[in-house]
A and B are shown apart, each in its own frame.
Chain A
Amino acid sequence: MDVSPQVRIAAGPAPQAKSGSEKIRGAEILIRGMIANGVDTIFGLPGGAVLHIYDELWRYREETTHYLVRHEQGAVHAAEGYARATGKVGVALVTSGPGATNAVTGIATAYMDSIPLVVITGQVPTAMIGTDAFQEVDTFGITIPIVKHSYLVRNVEELGSIVNEAFYLAQDGKPGPVVIDIPKDVTAQLANYQDDRGVTFDTRIDHKAPTREVVETTVEKLLAAQRPVFYVGGGVVSANAANELLAVVEKLNAPVTPTLMGLGAFPSAHPQCLGMLGMHGTYSANLAVAESDLLIAIGVRFDDRVTGKLNTFAPVAEVIHIDVDASNIGKLRKPQIPVVADAKQALAAIYAKLSQTTIDAEKLGAWWSKIRRWQTEVPLACEYSDTEIKPQQVIETLYEVTDGNAVIVTDVGQHQMWAAQFYPFKRSRQWLTSGGLGTMGFGLPAAMGAQIALPDETVVAVVGDGGFQMTNQEIITAIQYNVPLKVLIMNNGYLGMVRQWQEMFYDRAYSEVDLSVSPDFVKLAEAYGAIGLRASHPSELKEVLHEGLEFDGVAIMDIVVTKEENVFPIVPAGGESRNMILK
C-alpha cells in the first residue's frame, strides 16, 4: 500500500512558452496560471470588474472551457460538484459586488464540507477601494470566516505566485475554498509570467504522517477491543482512503458506520457496514456506537447531527480520533488517542502493523450477534402503497434502474435523508451532498458540475420541490452546453423536513411550509427545452425513471410522492442518540 506523501499539486500542461522577458496583462497571468494548475473547466458569470479576465478567457478558450451560469450561486455549486466528483479543485469566476455576494452561499457550503475550490472575484480598481464605488463590496472581509485562505491582490507582480499558492492551499491537508479578489486595474497591469508552481510562503509543516508510536498504540487498542466501531466521514473520501479503510476493517472484522459525508467511503452493502449513524441513522449503527468500547473516528468532526446529546454519545467508549486537522481533534470530544494525520497514510500504517498479526476471527462473535439482532429488529424499511408513490420507493427504484452505479447529488431535506438511507453506495464520490451547511439549491447546479466532470457517468440530481425552485435557472446552462443533466424532483408539495418537525415537535402547526402552489414542472422543463416527465402513480414510476435516465439530454422527472411521509428513525435534536423515534 502506498504510504508515500501524496503530491497533490496537479501538474497541468505548461502554457505555450513566451519569452520570459515579455510582459503580459494580469488577466493573462491569471488564466495561464490556472491552466498551469490543471484547470480545464471554469464556471462563471461576467461583469464590469472582470472584463479584462473574460477578454483573456476568450483568447484561451481552446485550453479551458467556461460555462456561463445564470446566477453566481450556481457557478460555485457547479464548481463544488465538479470538485466533489473528482477531488480536483473546482473553479468559479464572478464579478465584484453582487457577483461576489451571490457566490458567498456556495463558498460557505464548500467550507463546511472541506471542498477544494478557487473562487476568483472581481474587485473595483485599487484606487477606488473604500470609496463605496459602484459594485464595490468588501469581499475579502465578507468571506474571511468561510474561506481556508483569501487574497486581495494589490500588486500584479504577486498574482502568478498567488494563483499557484491558492491551488496548493485549496488541496493541502484539509481541503477548502480559497478566494482571490482581484481589482480591475491589477488585471490590466503588465508583469512577467513565471510558472513557479509550488509553495511560495514558508508557513507549512507537513503533519500528514502518523508517528510510529501512535500507530502502535492504536493497533494495541484495536486488538484489545471487544466492541469496536469505525465511525468514518468525509475525511476518508477527501484523502482517497477507501481502499485502506476496507483493508483494515476486513482484517479486524469490525463494524463500520459512515456519516452523511462519509457515505460511499465504505460500500453500503458490505456485510460489515451498519449504515449511516446519527439523527437519521440506522437503529443498529446508533446502538452499536452507544454500546461500543472503542470508537475509531476517522475524518469526522463529531457533528451535532451525528452525536445528538454530546455527553451521552458513545458513553463507554475510548476514542481514537484520526484527522488531518488538529483543531478537529478534541474540539467536542476528547479522544484517548489523538492522531493528527492524513486518513490514507494513517490507515495504511495501521494496516501494515496489523498485517503482521494473526487475528482471531471469532473474537468479535458476541458483538456481531448483538448487532445482527438490532439489524433484524429494526431494519430500514418502508411499506409501499397501491395508490401513492412512496419517497423511499423512488430511491429504491432509482437504485434498481441505475444498477446502483449512478452518482447521486442531492439537495437538502427529507429526500436527502431517504437517498442516504435507501441508495446503497459502492464507492467514494458516488454521493455528493451539502452536509455541513445544509444548502437548499445545491443539488441541481452541483449535479451539472459533476456531470461535466464525469461525462460518461450517469449523474442524477435528487432534489425536493422546494430546493429545486431555488436554483432551477441552471437548467438552461445545462441545455446550452449539452450537459445531459438528470433531475429527479421528489415532489410532496411541502418544505418536507420542516413540515415533519412541525408535525412531530410543534403539534402539527404547519407554519409556512405549504408549496402546493408551484409551477407545473413538466411545462417548466419544456419551456427550458428539456424533457419533462411526471409520475404520480406507483405503476408509472419505473417507466418514467427509465425514460428520463435513458434520454440523451436534459430530463426533469417530477415524481409526485406521498405528501406527509416522515424520515425514520429520528433522534430529536439534542437528544440521546440511542433514543430513536422509529415510527
Chain B
Amino acid sequence: MRHTISITVANEAGELSRIVGLFSARGYNIETISVGKTLDQKWSKATIVTCGDEATIEQIVKQCARLARVKEVKAVTTLPHIEREMALIDVSVKAGDERQEVMSLVNIFRAKVVDISHEKMILELSGTQEKVDTFIEMLSPMAVNEVTRSGCVAINRLSPLEDSVKGLQYAA
C-alpha cells in the first residue's frame, strides 16, 4: 500500500539526513520526498511517499516519532487528505500541428507553458501523482527530453469526517 507520511522536524542541519538514514537503515522505501519550512521557521515539514503494509507504516511513524528533533508524524493517507505533485517537462515540439496538439493537452490538463523556443516548450503541471503520470504518458508521442518532478506534498482536509476517523498520528 502506498502511504504519504508527513514529518514535522526541526529546521536544523543534519536532521533530514537522520530521517533519510532511518528509512534506509530499517529497509523502508522512499518513493518521493519533499521538504520545506513551516510557518514557524524553526520547523520544516518533510512529506515522504512510501509503501508498506499497515504494520510497516505504523513502524515508520513510530520510528520517526522517536527522533529527538521530530515534533509530529502523521500518516496523512489514513485521513481524508489532499495531495499534489508538480512537474516541469521539457518537450521538443515543432511549430504547427504538433504545437497545437500539445496546447490541447495543456488545456485538458490545466497545465501551463512556462517557456518556449522554435524547437521546444517547457510545461508546468501540478496535480495528483496519477494526473502527472497521465500527462507525461499523453506527451510520449512527442520527444519528451527531461522531466523534473517535485515529489508529493500533502495536507489533511478540513473535513467534518476528521473527528470520526482515527488516523495514525504520533507526537514525539
- Mark A386-422 against chain B: 1 for CB-CB distance below 8 A, else 0: 0000000000000000000000000000000000000
- Flag if B13 contacts A204 (CB, 8 Å): no
B46 to chain A, nearest CB (A): 15
Bound CA span A154–B171, Å: 28
A25 within 8 A of B: no
Chain B residues closer than 8 Å to A134, beta-carbon distance: none
A362 to chain B, nearest CB (A): 40
Interfacial residues of chain A within 178-235, with CB under 8 A of chain B in the complex: 201-205
- Flag if B25 contacts A145 (CB, 8 Å): yes
Bound CA span A331–B63, Å: 10
Interfacial residues of chain A within 331-373, with CB under 8 A of chain B in the complex: 331, 334
- Flag if A148 contacts B59 (CB, 8 Å): no
A378 within 8 A of B: no
B162 to chain A, nearest CB (A): 21
Bound CA span A558–B81, Å: 67
Per a CB cutoff under 8 Å, which of B66, B71, B171 touches A325?
Answer: B66
B108 within 8 A of A: no
Bound CA span A148–B70, Å: 12
B170 within 8 A of A: yes
A14 within 8 A of B: no
B39 within 8 A of A: no
Q: A144-B17, A326-B65 are in contact. Are A203 and B25 (CB under 8 A)?
A: no
Bound CA span A329–B58, Å: 10
List the A residue with the shortest CB-CB distance to B170: A326
Counting chain B CB atoms within 10 Å of each CB, the highest count among A148, A201, A327, A330 belongs to A327
Q: A144-B18, A201-B10, A205-B172 are in contact. Are A327 and B69 (CB under 8 A)?
A: no
- Flag if A205 contacts B68 (CB, 8 Å): no
A140 within 8 A of B: yes
Chain B residues closer than 8 Å to A205, beta-carbon distance: 171-172
Bound CA span A152–B59, Å: 28
- Flag if A204 contacts B172 (CB, 8 Å): yes
Chain A residues closer than 8 Å to B18, beta-carbon distance: 144
Q: A327-B63, A330-B58, A331-B59 are in contact. Are A203 and B172 (CB under 8 A)?
A: yes
Is the interface on chain A under 10, 10 to 19, 20 to 34, or 35 or more residues? Answer: 20 to 34
A141 within 8 A of B: yes
Q: A326-B170, A330-B55 are in contact. Are A203 and B68 (CB under 8 A)?
A: yes
Bound CA span A325–B170, Å: 12
Bound CA span A141–B69, Å: 16
Bound CA span A330–B59, Å: 8
A346 to chain B, nearest CB (A): 18
- Flag if A169 contacts B68 (CB, 8 Å): yes
Bound CA span A150–B66, Å: 14
B23 to chain A, nearest CB (A): 11
A149 within 8 A of B: yes
A145 to chain B, nearest CB (A): 5
Per a CB cutoff under 8 Å, which of A141, A148, A327, A330 touches B68?
Answer: A148
Chain B residues closer than 8 Å to A140, beta-carbon distance: 14
List the B residue with the shortest CB-CB distance to A205: B171
Counting chain B CB atoms within 10 Å of each CB, the highest count among A169, A331, A334 belongs to A331
Chain B residues closer than 8 Å to A169, beta-carbon distance: 68
Interfacial residues of chain A within 303-338, with CB under 8 A of chain B in the complex: 325-327, 329-331, 334
Bound CA span A325–B25, Å: 18
Chain A residues closer than 8 Å to B58, beta-carbon distance: 330
Bound CA span A171–B92, Å: 60
- Mark B39-78 against chain A: 1 for CB-CB distance below 8 A, else 0: 0000000000000000100110011011111110000000
Bound CA span A145–B67, Å: 11
Q: A152-B13, A201-B10, A334-B55 are in contact. Are A145 and B21 (CB under 8 A)?
A: yes
Chain A residues closer than 8 Å to B170, beta-carbon distance: 326
- Flag if B68 contacts A149 (CB, 8 Å): yes
List the B residue with the shortest CB-CB distance to A334: B55
List the B residue with the shortest CB-CB distance to A326: B62
- Flag if A203 contacts B62 (CB, 8 Å): no
- Flag if A327 contacts B59 (CB, 8 Å): yes
A161 to chain B, nearest CB (A): 13
List the A residue with the shortest CB-CB distance to B65: A326
Chain B residues closer than 8 Å to A327, beta-carbon distance: 59, 62-63, 65-66
Bound CA span A148–B63, Å: 12
Interfacial residues of chain B within 123-172, with CB under 8 A of chain A in the complex: 170-172
Bound CA span A202–B72, Å: 12
Chain B residues closer than 8 Å to A152, beta-carbon distance: 13-14
Bound CA span A329–B69, Å: 21
Chain A residues closer than 8 Å to B71, beta-carbon distance: 202-203
- Mark B69-113 against chain A: 1 for CB-CB distance below 8 A, else 0: 111000000000000000000000000000000000000000000
Bound CA span A71–B17, Å: 30
Bound CA span A105–B105, Å: 58
A467 to chain B, nearest CB (A): 27
Q: A203-B69, A326-B170, A330-B55 are in contact. Are A144 and B62 (CB under 8 A)?
A: no
Chain B residues closer than 8 Å to A144, beta-carbon distance: 14, 17-18, 21
Chain A residues closer than 8 Å to B17, beta-carbon distance: 141, 144
Bound CA span A204–B67, Å: 10
Bound CA span A202–B42, Å: 11
Chain B residues closer than 8 Å to A202, beta-carbon distance: 71
Bound CA span A294–B63, Å: 27
Q: A145-B25, A154-B13 are in contact. List 7 more A-B contacts (CB 8 A).
A: A141-B17, A201-B10, A327-B59, A327-B65, A327-B66, A330-B59, A334-B55
- 16 A-B pairs whose Cβ atoms sit less than 8 Å apart in the complex: A140-B14, A144-B18, A144-B21, A149-B67, A154-B13, A169-B68, A201-B69, A203-B71, A326-B65, A327-B59, A327-B62, A327-B65, A327-B66, A330-B55, A330-B59, A334-B55
Q: Which 4 A-B pairs have the closest CB atoms?
A: A327-B62, A149-B68, A145-B25, A144-B21
